[in-house]
Chains A and B, each alone.
Chain A
Amino acid sequence: MFQTVALSGSRGERQLFSDISVTVKPGTLLAVVGENGSGKTSFLRMLCGLLSPDGGAILWQGKDIRQLKELYYAQLTYVGHLNGIKDELTPVENLKVSACLAGDESSNGIVQQALEAVGLGRPVQRLPSRVLSQGQKRRVALARLWLSTRPLWLLDEPFAALDTAATNYLTHRLQSHLSQGGMVVVATHQEIALPPDCIQHLRLTR
């Protein structure tokens, strides 16, 4: 179980949110919604441990993530606002490297299957990532989810720049992860086509 307790955060002088207490149970998705600048990305980065909260705590299985550190990182997969891929490397190389560093299966076959699952065929897989479109780069970043066996996924605007087909691939992947008892926190502006009983919403306001 994943919880925030009276979490508050700010950027510079501006208070972004305060006193946020939410619980994400296995098999549920927390959709963080709100206007641009309402603090969704900061909230997500805080849940990763990349940003320090002003107050409150983030608990993983009842323990503060600041104490768990690497043990907590081993439980999560984060796809941020930035894709986290290298333009000089091919999609296969990018995914192999990130899977290897995450401790996931990183054989050529598995990586190619993951890229095919997000709709990137073999010819595209061999191109340098710098020649890919924004949507294709986003697909490469999201292909990590097809390799991840970690229970907690933190996704920042995962549907941004995706076409309908890729949105459907991702929605199915999220559904499959939730059905296996996984937890997902998504910062998004879009409605997610998942059964309402497995989605809870958190609205951040400016």
Chain B
Amino acid sequence: MSQPSMSEALRGVVRRDLLLAMRHRSDVAMSVFFVVIVASLFPLGVGPEPAVLRTIASGVLWVTALLACLLSLGRLFTADYLDGVLEQTLLIPQPLAVLVVGKVFAHWVISGLPVVLLSPLLGLQFGLSGDSLGVLTLSLLLGTPTLSMIGAIGAALTLGLRGSGLLVALLVLPLFIPVLIFGAGAVSNSLAGIGSEANLSLLGACFLLSLAFAPWATAVALRIALD
């Protein structure tokens, strides 16, 4: 009797979600535009003073990345829940936590990776130096997958509930705080000429911690949501 290997199942979930994203390019484009517009509003609103812009850059760019992640969390499980694909996913003969990793990875590729790739360009608007742009990109590369991991728990916990968009924000925003502090701190330290290695290491630790616990917690929440 046939049974997919763990890697086949993982690849299958990622491929399906990326294929769906390709068919819904407008959703991906909307996330990107959101980040660009929000990040561009601050220099316009605060004024062109380079020192002020450099001071707020890390916080603004990190909060923008965080909000972009939050906006896209609704897409993570809701469509699958409504069309019955989630039921089928729960019955795949591989650990659900592994399949959740696949879904979260696809979510990050769609919503987090574009932010990471755009970040040097966005950082230039705030007058960040070359080193700081590198740190910003690296911090987002380490931090945005963690945001997706944590966000998945909230998305699964609120699946099928009315007003889940607001509820998921209330649930996950407090959990995003450490990532925000370490991420923004890494860029601020770099701007101040202090080493940002400690903050980046902590972001890496947050990612590993979320990778260990979030898929398992999300899997449990999904089973509860369908029960």
Using a CB–CB cutoff of 8 Å, the interface residues on chain A facing chain B are 48-52, 70-71, 73-76, 78, 80-89, 93, 97-98, 100-105, 149-151
Contact = CB atoms under 8 A, between A and B. Distances in A.
Contacts of A73: 91-93
A149 B1 contact: yes
Lowest 3 CB-CB distances: which A-B pairs, in order?
A82-B84, A103-B4, A74-B93
A137 B19 CA distance: 19
A81 to B, nearest CB: 7
A50 to B, nearest CB: 6
Interface stretch (B9-17, B29-37, B139-147, B206-214): B9-17
Contact of A71 (B79, B83, B91, B93): B93
A86 B1 CA distance: 26
B162 interface: no
B99 to A, nearest CB: 9
Contacts of A50: 87, 90-91, 226-227
A89 B20 contact: yes
B84 A81 contact: yes
B185 to A, nearest CB: 40
Interface of B: 1-5, 8-9, 12-13, 15-16, 19-20, 23-24, 79, 82-85, 87-95, 226-227
30 contacts: A49-B91, A50-B87, A50-B226, A51-B227, A70-B94, A70-B95, A73-B91, A73-B93, A74-B3, A80-B87, A80-B88, A81-B84, A83-B84, A84-B84, A84-B85, A86-B20, A86-B79, A86-B83, A93-B19, A97-B12, A100-B4, A100-B15, A101-B89, A102-B4, A103-B2, A103-B93, A105-B2, A149-B2, A150-B1, A151-B1
